Copies of this chain bind each other. A is one copy, B any other.
């Protein structure tokens, strides 16, 4: 077998089941090996930003890495923004980046570039294979690196000759790294703080935002009165009826300050203290009260879920968690179609077990206020602020077989709309809701907030998408996705309700 086949067999043997890719000439031996090796699903994306975002969505849900297959430095470069988001999400991903043959590098052909340089800012692990004989072992190391708790990006650069020359054999899977165990001192310290009677907030991120961790946090809250919060942009949070409700930190600095007000102790579980998303003149970056004590129960690489369960034991937590409510879906609202009513429609129809890929930006909030009482679901946020995550993450999260609702602002959706084609090709069960306000609406708010003086028409034109208006029905159907436009609550409720009852990709443009 050649190096490419040894790598593919190693990846499969190490538990990697899906490869999202957009290959070129230097990856053709890897592509050709796909028919000789069972166990790897390959999903084509028409742009690498779509490819890496799909791997992020898949990894967040599957809790194991997908591979990506990217074409030299520029192919990797196109995927970097969504790898930035994935890095912030701590999603495990193994990038396979083809490169020129080792002996060809010296000729500085047009596609030659500093692939290492492109990879480094987003990758916790980068390696370029030096020989076909080592590719398999390198692949096993890449998977292990990606699985390092809480999840990392590993980038393996594969020079073309290391793919086509003869290899020995696949490499055995390396042991899966486990999250570090939290020390009993950290648990005792947090327990003492919680029992002190001071106002305490548990701020949680990572795997502890799933049912088990939340249940432990809810039991702690029932006994100690602690608040339970998560970041504005938590990678994945399990929400809905029957689950412990989590307060989500708001977006703007002054809202965060208000949210944190009175907090005397902040107990961090895989999270960092909240800071302002951007800096603004004369507004704080640091949003925790100055006299608040900060304790780390679990760092991001530690097992926050087990730590919360141990903490619950030490504080002799109640059996029943606090903040658990029954299913109470809102009715379909009356009135004009706007982010609030659209969100209520979505909350009404969302089926149990759905995934929300949320890049709704200024228009996405309508559903959140109902989050605790609607059908149990997973919420995936835009973790790194690089817009253009929502559609690809929805696409990857839908693999192999989940219902996904993607909420998206129109500005950000244009970044990686190519992922819609993959949804059609793979017949994925994704309903995309485009909030078409014809603007970078958040920037109109930000332009005022940054104190930029008295902006004129040229400035405002840079935030405006009216000229010409994007037609999302045409864009989506041009890529094979059934699409409709809704200009009223009734129309949206009919379209969205139908989408929730049926399978397959579709898109609804909500005209705001």
A44 near B385: Cβ-Cβ < 8 Å: no
Partner of A84, one of B103, B113, B276, B474: B113
- Per-residue B-contact encoding for A386-406, CB less than 8 Å = 1, 0 else: 101000000000000000000
Is A272 engaged at the interface, CB distance under 8 Å to the other chain? yes
- Per-residue B-contact encoding for A7-27, CB less than 8 Å = 1, 0 else: 000000000000001011110
Among the stretches A116-124, A139-147, A371-379, the one at the interface with B is A116-124
Collect the chain B residues with CB atoms within 8 Å of residue A289's CB.
Answer: none
Q: Which of A253-279 contact B (CB under 8 A)?
A: 272, 275-279
Count of chain A residues near B, Cβ 8 A: 101
Is A327 engaged at the interface, CB distance under 8 Å to the other chain? no
A25 near B278: Cβ-Cβ < 8 Å: yes
- Using A458-B35, A467-B425, A479-B475 as known contacts, say yes or no to A233 and B110 having CB atoms under 8 A apart: yes
Among the stretches A72-80, A150-158, A189-197, A351-359, the one at the interface with B is A72-80
B28 near A447: Cβ-Cβ < 8 Å: yes
Collect the chain B residues with CB atoms within 8 Å of residue A35's CB.
Answer: 455-459
B424 near A111: Cβ-Cβ < 8 Å: no
B114 near A161: Cβ-Cβ < 8 Å: no
A266 to chain B, nearest CB (A): 15
Collect the chain B residues with CB atoms within 8 Å of residue A442's CB.
Answer: 25
Among the stretches A59-67, A213-221, A308-316, A411-419, the one at the interface with B is A411-419
A414 near B109: Cβ-Cβ < 8 Å: no
20 A-B pairs within 8 Å (CB atoms) are namely: A25-B446, A28-B443, A34-B456, A35-B457, A73-B84, A74-B84, A74-B384, A77-B80, A77-B386, A78-B81, A80-B80, A88-B110, A103-B279, A104-B279, A109-B276, A110-B277, A111-B384, A114-B121, A414-B421, A425-B467
A interface vs B, CB < 8 Å? Answer: 21, 23-26, 28-29, 31-32, 34-36, 42, 44, 46-47, 49, 72-75, 77-78, 80-81, 84-85, 88, 100-101, 103-104, 107-111, 113-114, 117-118, 120-122, 160-161, 164, 233, 272, 275-279, 281, 285-286, 383-386, 388, 411, 414-415, 418, 421, 424-425, 440, 442-443, 446-447, 450-459, 461-463, 465, 467-475, 477-480
Nearest 5 Cβ contacts at the A-B interface: A35-B456, A468-B480, A474-B478, A74-B386, A32-B452
